[in-house]
Homo-oligomer: A and B are copies of this chain.
């Protein structure tokens, strides 16, 4: 059977500040400017989750997208939506919530939740309509 990549988009919004807890406040302010605002700011994020595998002859699916959505909602979206990433998100504890670190944290949440027959091949996380990050597990 042909091998195809299928992608589901999910949207959530959250507060954060870019802040490295290992550095002083002055260093953080110098490095991150307004993104370091101690009173927080926030974003509407869009996450594209891509899994790859052979098309199942019985279903015609690589994977049921409803099940993919459920897995990502349970392991990621329900934990970050309408939350403060620095303060409330266990899988980002002590991590500076840049988009880069956030996408890596999400990979570690999603990958173990997927069924064996597919492989997580790409996460693409939009922070604004002008920037996004992609991670492939490397």
Where the two chains meet, the residues of A that have a C-beta atom closer than 8 Å to any C-beta of B are 2-11, 13-16, 18, 20, 23, 31-35, 37, 39-44, 50, 55, 58-62, 65-66, 81-84, 87-88, 95-101, 103-104, 128-135, 138
This chain: how many copies in the complex?
A: 6
Q: Which residues of B contact A4 (CB under 8 A)?
A: 100, 103-104, 133-135
Q: Could you tell me the dominant secondary structure of chain A's interface residues?
A: mixed
Q: A2-B138, A96-B60 are in contact. Are A8 and B130 (CB under 8 A)?
A: yes
Contact A88 B39 (CB under 8 A): yes
Q: How far is the CA of A79 from the CA of B50 in the complex (A)?
A: 29
What separation, in Å, do the CA atoms of A98 and B59 have in the docked complex? 8
